Amino acid sequence: MQSTAIIRACEVVGGQARLAALLGVTPQAVHLWVKRNLCPAERVLGIEQATGGRVARHELRPDLYPPPVLA
């Protein structure tokens, strides 16, 4: 299976159930995000915070948060 940003976020915090608890959502919601390989826009910043920045917003939703431009 391909390692996606949402899967990495789950791994960083200790699993889907743990990420769900940190975000105040159900484990089923996180499972659906993993299955669809897409998290809701309103959860991106919370996931970034929950992972201590190890999974960045632009990795989760590059359509909303472009990667930073390096000089």
Q: Which residues of 6-36 are buried (b: 16+ CB within 10 A; e: fewer)?
A: bbebbebbeebeebbbbbebeeebbeebbee
pLDDT digits (tens, 9 = 90+) for 29-65: 999 999 999 999 999 999 999 999 999 999 999 999 9
Q: What is the pLDDT of residue 71?
A: 73
Q: Which residue has the tokens 């960045």?
A: 56
Say what the pTM is.
Answer: 0.91
User: Domains (ranges, CATH) in the chain?
Assistant: 5-59 (1.10.260.40)
Question: Would you state the pLDDT for residue 2?
Answer: 52
Are 5 and 59 in contact by the 8 Å Cβ rule? The answer is: yes
